[in-house]
């Protein structure tokens, strides 16, 4: 079923019924050069992750400024469904996996 949905999405052929019943959305405006944004949860979903553009930013590393590619992730949650502390833990885990993708193999 998953592969059928992936194929339909890649072909731009998802129906409304195919998209019904979701609990989580990822909204990527980074590909349009949007640095950061706040996405609005679509009921009855529980959360939506907003993904901004990857941009070079000055960040501290070992006490010195360096330029590194960075992006902004913003998680919006329906707090009737998702506890804020759990949402923060989710973001911490996601960031850790994005920063060290080989950790996903463990």
From the list 7, 17, 83, 106, the catalytic residue is 83
Q: What is the DSSP letter of 39?
A: P
Q: Taking a C-beta distance cutoff of 8 angstroms, is the pair 24, 46 a contact?
A: yes
Residue 98 CA to its chain's centroid (Å):
11
From the list 17, 78, 79, 106, the catalytic residue is 79
56 is catalytic: no
Q: Which two tokens stand for residue 70?
A: 């960075």
79 is catalytic: yes
Q: What are phi and psi of 21, to 5 degrees?
A: 90, 10
Q: Which residues are catalytic?
A: 79, 83
């Amino acid at each position: 079923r998953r592969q059928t949905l992936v194929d339909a999405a890649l072909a731009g052929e998802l129906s409304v019924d195919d998209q019904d019943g979701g609990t989580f959305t990822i909204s990527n405006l980074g590909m349009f050069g949007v640095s950061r944004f706040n996405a609005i949860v679509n009921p009855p979903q529980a959360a939506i992750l907003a993904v901004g553009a990857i941009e070079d930013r000055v960040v501290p590393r070992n006490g010195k400024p360096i330029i590194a590619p960075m992006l902004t992730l913003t998680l919006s949650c329906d707090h009737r469904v998702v506890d804020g502390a759990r949402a923060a833990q989710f973001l911490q885990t996601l960031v850790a996996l994005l920063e060290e993708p080989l950790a996903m193999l463990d």
